[in-house]
């Protein structure tokens, strides 16, 4: 499966190289700081936070309400769940995570997120709720842990991928 990454806290591919270490040293020098004042890890975290804020701004796109379908990995096993993200804006997808390691991405059809935390891993799929439909039956099926077919999902919702793909040129 090809993934187009929107945002990830996995910093190894970005920060574990000599160029990055040089950028950190340049930052210290430009701001007249010592390593004891701002550690490399603190600098990386600030950069990640800035990247996340930039993606929130990039995805500040009006849409319908969003259904977040969740497979939750909890201390007592896997559970299904959902949440309706009110307010009709794609950037609201960034408000559902609880873990330290997150990755937002698009596969061929959907905007998704993998969220790893101390108990396990949550997997989210974000879909725009179709205007004028009552999604109560779909939500009940999700809550009950029933298998949801692509056909049923498409009846009640549509992909957010076109909004995101337009921003990033995919």
- Selection from 98, 92, 78 nearest residue 127 by Cα: 92
52 shares its domain with 96: no
Return d(Cα 170, Cα 158) in angstroms, integer.
Answer: 18
Question: Residue 2 domain-assigned?
Answer: no
49 shares its domain with 81: no
Our count of domains for the chain comes to 2
- Indicate the pLDDT class of residue 11, thresholds 50, 70 and 90: low
pLDDT tens profile 117-165: 888 899 999 999 999 999 999 999 999 989 999 999 999 999 999 999 9
- Selection from 102, 106, 112, 134 nearest residue 8 by Cα: 102
Taking residue 34's Cβ as centre, other Cβ atoms within 10 Å add up to 7
What is the domain extent for residue 83?
Answer: 66-168
Pairing of strands 4-8, 111-117: unpaired
Name the region of 132 (left: φ>0; alpha: ψ -120 to 50; beta: rest): left
33 shares its domain with 111: no
Q: What is the pTM of this model?
A: 0.85
Taking residue 165's Cβ as centre, other Cβ atoms within 10 Å add up to 14
- Indicate the pLDDT class of residue 49, thresholds 50, 70 and 90: confident
């Amino acid at each position: 499966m090809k993934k187009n990454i929107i945002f990830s806290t996995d910093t190894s591919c970005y920060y574990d190289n000599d160029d990055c270490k040089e950028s950190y040293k340049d930052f210290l020098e430009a701001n007249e700081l010592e390593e004891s004042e701002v550690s490399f890890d603190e600098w990386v975290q600030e950069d990640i936070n800035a990247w996340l804020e930039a993606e929130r701004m990039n995805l500040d796109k009006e849409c319908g309400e969003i259904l977040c379908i969740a497979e939750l990995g909890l201390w007592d096993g896997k559970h299904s769940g959902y949440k309706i993200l009110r307010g009709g804006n794609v950037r609201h997808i960034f408000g559902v995570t609880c873990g330290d390691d997150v990755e937002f991405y698009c596969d061929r059809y959907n905007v998704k997120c993998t969220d790893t935390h101390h108990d396990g891993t949550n997997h989210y799929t974000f879909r725009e709720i179709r205007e004028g439909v009552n999604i109560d039956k779909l939500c009940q099926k999700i809550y009950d842990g029933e298998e949801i077919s692509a056909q049923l999902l498409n009846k009640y919702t549509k992909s957010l991928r076109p909004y995101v793909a337009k921003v990033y040129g995919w």
